[in-house]
């Protein structure tokens, strides 16, 4: 009975956080139109980049790693897509090139972590600066507009009936991530490496290879977020995704993924990203200044994260 309670509380805290934040803004920002369907869809749209990246980050954190370089990857990917579209006007190539940027970045992170055995935190702290630097020189800080409306519609601005294409992509990535995480032996291996690395090795798992692929998936998702940014803003700038890293990590942890690895959920991470999205939106509607928003958001994140991390302390 007691065990049941403990598990329930830990696994559902993200839904409780979601409900509390939702209810709070439903009351506090009701007259500002928080509950209007258009506003709710707007939240989903604005949050989708964080949601998509959070799917990848769940893999990294579950394997006992972290990726601080997602912002740079997102910017590089968006700029790559924009440049390919500008020069070749080929949507397929643009997407492939942007994802390739993510793949290579993730591979770089993963190889250094696996081969040189440096903690992921430090590796990605370094590559974060490198990637951001590369994004800045790619166009000499210039923004690149995208005039291909098909691309813009598919990857951001378009709708399918009342539903934004961004939301549809979020769902697609979530479902794919969830299956990979929960239903494949790769997903199991990621959790095993994060849960107890020596035991995973004893059980015949190539732990360093798993870590590398976890970083690749994380960067691929960040790159896809870059494609969505490009589609949504009809262009790319080196600043895209710049401030997202912390929101992505917060979403994953609020979602119930253990910060030390070994346990987590993709669905939780998505709900977590919506909690962050509602906060951004609701605080803005309430008329708080940007500085006030930052402070309020920080406080709420700390509360939500501390609730999620209250794992069996008595052990």
Q: Which residues bind other proteins (CB under 8 A)?
A: 3, 7, 179, 183-185, 188-189, 191-192, 194-196, 198-200, 202-205, 258, 262-263
Residue 218 beta carbon to other proteins: minimum distance, rounded to whole angstroms: 19
Q: Which is nearer to other proteins, 234 or 263 (CB)?
A: 263
Q: How far is the CB of 269 from other proteins (least distance, A)?
A: 16
CB of 186 to other proteins, least distance (A): 10
CB of 77 to other proteins, least distance (A): 27
- Categorise residue 12: left if φ over 0, alpha if ψ from -120 to 50, beta otherwise: alpha
Q: How far is the CB of 55 from other proteins (least distance, A)?
A: 18
Q: Which residues pair with 159 in a beta bridge?
A: 164
Say how far apart CA 226 and CA 83 lie, in whole Å: 13
CB 185 to other proteins: min, Å: 5
Closer of 92 and 202 to other proteins (Cβ): 202
What 8-state DSSP symbol labels residue 34? T
Cβ burial 58-76 (10 Å sphere, 16+ → b, else e)? bbbbbbbbbbbbbbbbbbb
To other proteins, the closest distance from the beta carbon of 187 in angstroms equals 8
Spell 156-179 as b/e; 16+ CB within 10 A means b. bbbeeeeebbbbebbeebbeebbe
**Which is closer to other proteins, CB of 241 or CB of 264?**
264
Which of these, 151, 35, 36, lies nearest to 83 by C-alpha position? 151
Residues 6+ apart with CB under 8 A from 124: 66, 67, 68, 69, 109
Which residue in 225, 168, 173, 296 sits closest to 50, CA to CA? 225
Number of residues in the chain? 315
Closest to other proteins by CB, 6 or 86: 6
Cα–Cα distance list, 289 to 85, 91, 246, 285 (Å): 37, 39, 20, 10
Q: Which CB, 7 or 88, lies closer to other proteins?
A: 7
Name the residue with tokens 């970083």.
215
Among residues 136 and 263, whose Cβ is nearest to other proteins? 263
CA distance 58 to 265: 7
Structure tokens at 181: 């995480």
Task: Select 110 or 262, whichever has its Cβ closest to other proteins.
Answer: 262
In terms of Cα–Cα distance, which of 82, 94, 71 is closest to 225? 71
CB of residue 209 to other proteins, shortest distance in Å:
12
CB closer to other proteins out of 194 and 282: 194
């Amino acid at each position: 009975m007691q065990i049941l309670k403990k598990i329930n509380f830990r696994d559902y805290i993200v839904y409780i956080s979601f409900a509390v934040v939702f209810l709070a803004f439903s009351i506090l920002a009701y007259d500002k139109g928080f509950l209007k369907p258009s506003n709710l869809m707007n939240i989903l749209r604005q949050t989708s980049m964080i949601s998509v990246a959070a799917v990848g980050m769940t893999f990294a954190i579950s394997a006992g790693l972290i990726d601080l370089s997602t912002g740079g990857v997102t910017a590089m990917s968006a700029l790559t897509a924009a440049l390919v579209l500008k020069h070749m006007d080929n949507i397929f190539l643009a997407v492939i090139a942007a994802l390739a940027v993510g793949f290579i970045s993730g591979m770089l992170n993963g190889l250094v972590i696996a081969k040189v055995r440096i903690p992921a935190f430090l590796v990605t702290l370094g590559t974060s600066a490198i990637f951001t630097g590369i994004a800045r020189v790619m166009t000499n800080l210039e923004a690149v507009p995208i005039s291909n409306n098909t691309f813009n519609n598919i990857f951001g601005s378009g709708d399918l009936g009342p539903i934004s294409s961004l939301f549809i992509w979020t769902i697609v990535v979530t479902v794919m991530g969830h299956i990979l995480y929960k239903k494949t032996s790769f997903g199991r291996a990621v959790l095993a490496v994060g849960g107890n690395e020596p035991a995973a090795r004893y059980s015949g798992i190539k732990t360093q290879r798993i870590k590398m692929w976890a970083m690749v998936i994380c960067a691929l998702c960040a790159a896809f977020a870059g494609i969505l940014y490009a589609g949504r803003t009809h262009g790319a700038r080196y600043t895209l995704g710049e401030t997202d890293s912390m929101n992505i990590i917060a979403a994953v942890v609020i979602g119930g993924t253990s910060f030390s690895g070994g346990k987590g959920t993709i669905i939780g991470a998505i709900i977590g990203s919506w909690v962050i999205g509602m906060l951004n939106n609701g605080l803005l509607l309430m008329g708080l200044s940007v500085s006030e928003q930052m402070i309020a958001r920080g406080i709420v994140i700390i509360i939500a994260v501390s609730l999620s991390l209250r794992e069996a302390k008595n052990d």
